[in-house]
């Protein structure tokens, strides 16, 4: 055991070079700083009302906002149906649930475009893939990309079946990097 490891173990400290990230502690109702290594799958980056800072939070702990927009016209609904169809296996929501979710967004056109992009990537990597576990990992990669930035995706992405190289292909495609 090296001196640094011994000191951390003895005094409970962290390495000074470890990256600290802002995290919204729902129970305390405030933003705290935690080591990036403590983020777990399911954490997403969000911008909270009243704060300029983008912070990490656990999606399942956040409350849904109010409906902000009326029902969409058929032109927009076509895209929502494509998203619903692409993710039916991994995220089986009804069309109404998908539409309602987008109606809660501050910028639904932007969100629908991002999810449409995600659906195309999912179909590209998952179509023809016989392994349900591998399709789920592709979905996990995409959802992680949806909730994080390119420089922080690997703080929380932990593929279970895909190799790191395969997961990197999905991530790079999502963020439009060639690989």
58 and 74 co-located in one domain: no
Its pTM stands at 0.77
Percent of the chain residues topping a pLDDT of 70: 89
Residues with Cβ < 8 Å from 32, sequence gap 6 or more? 22, 23, 25
Average pLDDT over residues 32-48: 85
For residues 82 and 113, is the Cβ–Cβ distance under 8 A?
no
Average pLDDT over residues 32-57: 84
Among 63, 82, 108, where does a domain finish?
A: 63
Beta bridge pairs of residue 120: none
Residues with Cβ < 8 Å from 160, sequence gap 6 or more? 133, 136, 137, 140
Which of the four pLDDT bands, split at 50, 70 and 90, describes residue 54? confident
Domain total for the chain?
Answer: 2
15 and 81 co-located in one domain: no
Paired sense of beta strands 20-25 and 30-35, if any: antiparallel
Q: What is the pLDDT of residues 115-126, one digit of tens each?
A: 999 999 999 999
80 and 91 co-located in one domain: yes
Sheet holding 54-58, edge to edge: 30-35, 20-25, 54-58, 43-47
């Amino acid at each position: 055991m090296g001196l640094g490891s011994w000191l951390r173990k003895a005094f409970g400290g962290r390495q000074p070079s470890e990256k600290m990230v802002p995290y919204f502690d729902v129970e305390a109702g405030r933003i705290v700083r935690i080591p990036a290594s403590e983020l777990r799958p399911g954490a997403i980056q969000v911008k909270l009302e009243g704060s300029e800072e983008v912070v990490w939070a656990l999606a399942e702990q956040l409350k849904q906002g109010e409906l902000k927009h009326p029902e969409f016209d058929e032109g927009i609904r076509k895209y929502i149906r494509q998203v619903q169809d692409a993710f039916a296996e991994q995220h089986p929501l009804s069309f109404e649930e998908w539409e309602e979710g987008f109606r809660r967004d501050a910028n639904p056109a932007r969100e629908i475009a991002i999810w449409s992009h995600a659906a195309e990537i999912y179909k590209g990597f998952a179509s023809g893939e016989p392994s349900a576990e591998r399709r789920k990992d592709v979905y996990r990669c995409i959802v992680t990309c949806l909730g994080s930035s390119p420089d922080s995706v690997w703080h929380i992405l932990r593929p279970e079946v895909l190799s790191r190289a395969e997961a990197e292909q999905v991530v790079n495609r999502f963020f439009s990097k060639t690989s």
